[in-house]
Structure 1
């Protein structure tokens, strides 16, 4: 019989105390104007004691950030290893991908937002303190799962003749499922709720701090349930809120954020109010697998020098590459990290912006037992499909400059990712994690 699962939870306020620039929109300049919704990091500390009294631990940290800075993750994991014995493969730093929070890295072009190292030091200190708080309230729990449906998101790649633009595409794929996970104390109340959905938190483009619709949803669920709730972002690389006017997207405001969040929250609460499946315990386990993604034709130094005087994002991109020639490489690793929490429930974390087609593949390949979790433990940029690379558009080609990548990916990336995901899941099924 597998040992019971213990869970400890904690929440820390990571709202910036001083004005700084926000991340995610090139049109915003200067520091944020006000705070609409405070930002939080939610800590989920998992532990098991085996029959031989060995201790297994895993950590999930969900934060109201656009992503976690890849250059800072190793230091954080080293701290967790020294203090808690946590292995790299058992730690997931996940971001909801709100575009209403601070930049967390200097790896990308300045147009995506300037990083403030002082904020990051403060935020990371609060998070590490929160881990201690979560450990302090560890207790045995059982796990329940249910599924709902929500359609606040819509596919955002639209073909117009021979080009691909960012526009509403009701015929494009989405993932409407809302996966709800409830942790219940043995003989006691609800300890926490995780809910998973795939849609960009880009309702508003205002220069204001906000946890966006995921924050509104978490606030509502926590108020009703009386326990910590965390939003887990799915593969939403080509999905955004369905705010449409005259057959085109438009940005909303704080009221729209609240409305979308409440729509999602009410579906989560409906699932929680109905029958849910109780999952059997399993051995807490994790594994990392890296897959190398190849770039297409790399730019020459002469080409980059010419781009450096063009202005805008193109100039910023070329200067990044010229200043760091290591960026002009033929491939980059995508990290796949599988964490198994219960029989029928695993999390597959990925350090990229993954389009929805991969999320649907992961769910189908696993029979629905694996929740895809991009925006985790760093960020390499967008990962499109092979078809999208041939079509072009923002996710496939234009976005590469924002993330300081040397070129769009080679179409072989989709085959490599699918094969790596299938192999990792096969290892899990055979108990090799």
Structure 2
């Protein structure tokens, strides 16, 4: 018969073994890596069609300078939470197209539609897509038919990209860092012809966001699988008739050439009031692309902060109110004016009044916040967002923040209170090109910032 002391030691040993198994299980769970998958597809139009971004263009595209791409990254954390980002070499997408894409991805994969972000580089040498900037273009029905065909094909391509990226999930490690770049200039405060002299004198004015956030995705051995990077600056170096992704397209191509078998994805920042200056030559577009790629590589070669495999995603749509719209008599007067853009916009508003009896009083504004590794927060804002938002949110939420505009759908410029009070193109004048009734209400900034902060908590 075993002695009592032996029985006691056996019991203690059993408890130690049980504790070890519990600790080992916890450690094993903690060691589970991220999973990441990538996919890409060429989206350069196969036929000559209208380019987007400039109302002054008078004929379709003439050729290709550099191919346009759609790219997707899928992420899954150790708890099985999944998210998908699709980057597009396009000026923007409208709500109808974005909603259809997210819904179809959800139906085919089961991933929550709220966990899908579409992000546009805002190149002005890509095609007209869907209803985005609809009031800006005056072309014949045959050109509209081309836009419709392209949009239908794009929808299918983007859905398949997300499906493919999710099907290619494999173990990965994530880390991030922040680089810097300086070719972006606040276009509201610096006359374009004077920029070279002002830059040389250190006299450029107005806020900018020089940060280049970089997300490194590596395999479990440390080999580079992909890189996601951002910068806040309009993609408007080029204004010609050749397809291209502008400087973001050149930056992505440069990185993929330097790092074979790597996927490079660009997220446009809050660059609605920031231009790449000087500009207007292909050489400058390539130069800025190389500079941005250099900034990314310097970040990759430096000290990066590892991100544990934890992903939390929150999405919201908020009713963002418009200011008081003009009365019908004012629309009728504008519809007969000499400004063809204002007249077309007025006719559109009159048509809505005739059909619905009233104009929309608000817009369902989309935004989301992704928290990665319990450290990095990515705020994805809809519309053309001015730089003040990025700077303010970093003050409010801390430096471990990445803020992007041109996400979800691109419905209008999003001014800060400062820009709203100053007025001008970004302050409200551009609304006519987006087909919205009037500028936003004056509290647009506080509403969006408050919602972003609430999603981050």
Indicate whether the TM-score tops 0.5: yes
Aligned match of 2:218: 184
Q: Please state whether the residue corresponding to 1:217 is helix, strand or coil.
A: helix
Aligned match of 1:247: none
Q: State how far apart, in whole Å, the 1-side matches of 2:94 and 2:151 are.
A: 9
2:62 to 14, 30, 33: 33
Aligned match of 1:145: 176
User: Following superposition of structure 1 onto structure 2, how do residues 129-140 of structure 1 map, counting pairs within 5 Å?
Assistant: 129-140=160-171
User: Following superposition of structure 1 onto structure 2, how do residues 189-228 of structure 1 map, counting pairs within 5 Å?
Assistant: 189-226=223-260, 227-228=262-263
Structure number with bigger Rg: 2
Q: State how far apart, in whole Å, the 2-side matches of 1:190 and 1:124 are.
A: 29
Aligned match of 1:289: 316
Aligned match of 2:303: 275
Does 1:231 pair with 2:279? Answer: no
1:85 to 99, 110, 122: 110
Give the conservation status (yes or no) of the 8 Å contact 2:135–2:432: no
- Per-residue deviation at 1:159? 8.4
Q: Please state whether the residue corresponding to 2:174 is helix, strand or coil.
A: strand
Q: State how far apart, in whole Å, the 2-side matches of 1:83 and 1:93 are.
A: 17
Aligned match of 1:430: none
Aligned match of 1:309: 336
RMSD: 2.1
Give the conservation status (yes or no) of the 8 Å contact 1:22–1:113: no
Give the conservation status (yes or no) of the 8 Å contact 1:21–1:113: no
Aligned match of 1:266: 294
User: Following superposition of structure 1 onto structure 2, how do residues 326-345 of structure 1 map, counting pairs within 5 Å?
Assistant: 328-345=359-376
Q: In terms of mean alpha carbon deviation, does 14-23 or 113-122 score higher?
A: 113-122
Q: Please state whether the residue corresponding to 2:166 is helix, strand or coil.
A: helix
Aligned match of 1:357: 388
Aligned match of 2:12: none
Aligned match of 1:14: 43
Does 1:60 pair with 2:95? Answer: no
Q: Aligned in 2, Cα 1:113/1:176: closer, same or farther, shift over 3 Å?
A: farther
Q: State how far apart, in whole Å, the 1-side matches of 2:193 and 2:404 are.
A: 23
Q: State how far apart, in whole Å, the 2-side matches of 1:406 and 1:255 are.
A: 39
Aligned length: 410
TM score, norm. by length of structure 2: 0.85
- Per-residue deviation at 1:276? 1.7
TM score, norm. by length of structure 1: 0.89
Give the conservation status (yes or no) of the 8 Å contact 2:315–2:369: yes
Q: Please state whether the residue corresponding to 1:298 is helix, strand or coil.
A: coil
- Per-residue deviation at 1:363? 2.3
Q: Please state whether the residue corresponding to 1:296 is helix, strand or coil.
A: coil
Does 1:392 pair with 2:453? Answer: no
Q: Please state whether the residue corresponding to 1:236 is helix, strand or coil.
A: coil
Q: Please state whether the residue corresponding to 1:157 is helix, strand or coil.
A: coil
Alpha-carbon displacement from aligned partner over 1:95-144 (angstroms, at most 9, x marks no partner): 11111111222253442576501011112222222233323421111111
- Per-residue deviation at 1:394? 0.9
Richer in strand (by share): 1
- Per-residue deviation at 1:156? 0.7
Q: Please state whether the residue corresponding to 2:124 is helix, strand or coil.
A: coil
Unaligned runs of 5+ residues in structure 1 are 244-250, 427-433
- Per-residue deviation at 1:397? 2.2
Q: State how far apart, in whole Å, the 2-side matches of 1:376 and 1:270 are.
A: 26
Q: Aligned in 2, Cα 1:206/1:373: closer, same or farther, shift over 3 Å?
A: same
Richer in helix (by share): 2
Q: Aligned in 2, Cα 1:256/1:166: closer, same or farther, shift over 3 Å?
A: closer
- Per-residue deviation at 1:149? 1.1
Unaligned runs of 5+ residues in structure 2 are 1-28, 196-202
Q: Aligned in 2, Cα 1:22/1:89: closer, same or farther, shift over 3 Å?
A: same
Aligned match of 2:154: 123
Give the conservation status (yes or no) of the 8 Å contact 2:233–2:271: yes
Q: In terms of mean alpha carbon deviation, does 208-217 or 361-370 score higher?
A: 361-370
Give the conservation status (yes or no) of the 8 Å contact 2:271–2:387: yes
Q: State how far apart, in whole Å, the 1-side matches of 2:377 and 2:435 are.
A: 32
Does 1:4 pair with 2:38? Answer: no
Q: State how far apart, in whole Å, the 2-side matches of 1:38 and 1:419 are.
A: 39
